[in-house]
Amino acid sequence: MKKFIAFLFLLTLFVSCEKDETMEQTLTPAFSPECGTYTRPIYVTISCNTPGARIYYTLDGTEPTDSSNVYKTPILLNSTTTIKTYAAKEGMEESPVDTGVFVINTLIEWQKMYGGTYNEDLVTMQQTSDGGYIIGGVSYSDSIQDAINHGESDYYILKIDSHGNKEWHRMYGGSNYETLKSVQQTADGGYIIGGYSYSEDIPGVKNNGGNDYYIIKLDTRGEIEWQKMFGGSDSEYFGFINQTSDGGYILGGYSYSYISGITNGSSIGYYIIKTNSSGFRIWQTKSSYELRGDLSPVIHPTNDNGYIIAGSMSYSCFDQWLCESNICWYATVCKDKPRIVKADMSGNMQWQHEYGYADDEIDFIQQTNDGGYVFTVNSSDYEDYFMRINPSGNVVWLKKYEIGCEYNSIQQTNDGGYIIGGSLCSSSMYGLRDFCVFKINADGYTEWQQIFGGGETDECIIALQTSDGGYMLGGDSQSEDIPAVTSIGASDIYIVKLKGDLSQFVY
């Protein structure tokens, strides 16, 4: 009898211990970020607070087992996904299965980075006749695969297809600095590119002093057909180039030189050149008045074969002492205000107007469908704004959008509104600076806005509407953590293709 009682005691103790062991269960894994709806690709992290636990998961909605994927690194989600997961640890009961549904209703069709090991800066971008894109910028990298840098900085031209796949890229320049400003597809399917060069050793062209206009005609694959330099003994800063109806080109910028052959101009003024289809100069003209800007005013041809020039001029000057590093001097200090000048094809002024406030600067100007103009203004009080003027230069509206965005481009859209690109630099959503893009209607009222980027500095230089009704954003990125995008160097060209109707994604 005593033996039987002892046996029952041991059996009870064993069952009790076994029961205690089975009650200790592995904790349920958790998702970060939480499941929900997102408007861009995301990385999902799965974690478990039970030390040493192994996490199993599936991405197709099936129940996970010990033969399923073992979680090791964050999971990239580009589309709507159901994640099921549980955790297990030897000697403990498995956790319950947790389910997370992540709806990726992304407004991004695709996004990519391009560049070399150092810095590439995007300057301009245009959709091409084949539905792809030609991208122009400046490269500071020693080399990019299949593209060799010739000096301190080179023109960098990149051709991609409609899905962002690289078709070809090239660098152009000499041993010194080249700064690209304009790229345009030509009637023969090639490209005309322009900027200014400080190099004196580019084969086949002669630098006349300082910076000169540097123009290159490319074929459809980026091979040089011809190249030209224009300028005087001082510096010229290039602004634009456009193909004309006769197959030639009109180009212009700002000059600090006395130009040989021009008697009606001063040493400082905007400098316009007309060439034939081979780049040989037909005529040239130079303004007899000064209009300042950041190196050069913003200059664009207009639909009446004239020009719109946006810069600044002094409106208030006074003398005062200036000091730096314990050295002081007496000087005249002038405050500038934005000014826009309309000129005819010969450079004769048709009208001019001042706009905005002291020390503001016009960053970008575009002619609108009604013959007027819309432009962005970088404000000295850090609240950038837009203005729309009629064909005579009179103000139609002025709009400020207090979202902390610095605006770099504005383009009219098919519906008569505008797409605006810039950089959000205060209270950025993702990093130090983010891509900022928003759509306004013809009267300047916001329809939608969006923010893109990574953990570092991302700056949108241009936003444009594409032939499919969507939008393309182009700029520079220093971020290495943007989902589904591979960073290449210190600063890369960053392109984002967006869907058409983004009103459902209002930020």
What's the average model confidence in pLDDT over 61-90?
A: 93
- Is residue 457 domain-shared with residue 503, that is, in the same domain? yes
For residue 489, the model assigns a pLDDT of 86
- In a domain, residue 180? The reply is no
267: which residues sit within 8 A by CB, 6+ positions away? 234, 255, 256, 257, 258
Measured between alpha carbons, how far is 272 from 281 in angstroms, rounded to an integer? Answer: 11
Domain boundary among 54, 79, 104: 104
| DSSP one-letter code for 8 | H
- In a domain, residue 333? The reply is no
For residue 272, the model assigns a pLDDT of 86
CATH number at residue 68: 2.60.40.10
Measured between alpha carbons, how far is 69 from 38 in angstroms, rounded to an integer? Answer: 24
What's the average model confidence in pLDDT over 226-251?
A: 91
3 three-state secondary structure:
helix
Query: Lowest-pLDDT range, 211-215, 394-398, 446-450?
Result: 446-450
- Is residue 41 domain-shared with residue 140, that is, in the same domain? no
What's the average model confidence in pLDDT over 88-94?
A: 93
Average pLDDT, the chain: 85
- Is residue 90 domain-shared with residue 32, that is, in the same domain? yes
For residue 82, the model assigns a pLDDT of 94
Measured between alpha carbons, how far is 71 from 78 in angstroms, rounded to an integer? Answer: 18
- In a domain, residue 87? The reply is yes
- Is residue 32 domain-shared with residue 114, that is, in the same domain? no
- Is residue 418 domain-shared with residue 482, that is, in the same domain? yes
For residue 452, the model assigns a pLDDT of 86
Mark 208-235 as b/e (b = at least 16 C-beta within 10 Å).
bebbbbbbbbbebebeeeebbbbbbebb
% residues pLDDT > 90 (the chain): 49
Confidence of residue 507 (pLDDT cuts 50, 70, 90): very low
Domain of residue 139: give its range: 109-168+401-507
Higher pLDDT: 12 or 463? It is 463
- In a domain, residue 278? The reply is no
- Is residue 50 domain-shared with residue 15, that is, in the same domain? yes
CA atoms within 13 A on the CB side of 412: 17
**For the chain, what is the radius of gyration of the CA atoms?**
30
For residue 120, the model assigns a pLDDT of 94
For residue 54, the model assigns a pLDDT of 96
Domain total of the chain:
2
Residue 403 has pLDDT above 70, yes or no: no
- In a domain, residue 50? The reply is yes
Mark 330-368 as b/e (b = at least 16 C-beta within 10 Å).
eeeeeebbbbbbbbebebeeeeeeebbeeebbbbbbbbb
Residue 181 has pLDDT above 80, yes or no: yes
Strands 36-38 and 98-104: parallel
What's the average model confidence in pLDDT over 293-299?
A: 57
Q: Report whether the peptide linkage leading into residue 203 is cis, meaning its omega lies within 30 degrees of zero.
A: no
Residue 191 has pLDDT above 90, yes or no: yes
CB-CB contact of 72 with 57 (8 Å): no
- In a domain, residue 265? The reply is no
Domain boundary among 104, 138, 157: 104
Strands 418-424 and 405-412: antiparallel
CB-CB contact of 87 with 52 (8 Å): no
- In a domain, residue 85? The reply is yes
- Is residue 119 domain-shared with residue 53, that is, in the same domain? no
% residues pLDDT > 70 (the chain): 85
Judging by beta carbons within 10 Å of its beta carbon (0-12, 13-18, 19+), is residue 8 exposed, middle or buried?
Answer: exposed
For residue 5, the model assigns a pLDDT of 52
- Is residue 411 domain-shared with residue 485, that is, in the same domain? yes
Measured between alpha carbons, how far is 457 from 480 in angstroms, rounded to an integer? Answer: 10
CA atoms within 13 A on the CB side of 90: 1
- Is residue 90 domain-shared with residue 145, that is, in the same domain? no
Higher pLDDT: 2 or 38? It is 38
Residue 323 has pLDDT above 80, yes or no: no
- In a domain, residue 478? The reply is yes
**Degrees, nearest 5: CA angle 307-308-313:** 125
Confidence of residue 310 (pLDDT cuts 50, 70, 90): confident
Query: Lowest-pLDDT range, 88-97, 282-291, 348-357?
Result: 282-291
- Is residue 34 domain-shared with residue 124, that is, in the same domain? no
465-504: pLDDT as tens digits: 999 999 999 999 999 888 878 888 889 999 999 987 665 5
What's the average model confidence in pLDDT over 80-95?
A: 94
- Is residue 65 domain-shared with residue 129, that is, in the same domain? no
12 three-state secondary structure:
helix
Domain boundary among 55, 82, 104: 104
CB-CB contact of 312 with 362 (8 Å): yes
120-140: pLDDT as tens digits: 999 999 999 999 999 999 999
- Is residue 95 domain-shared with residue 147, that is, in the same domain? no
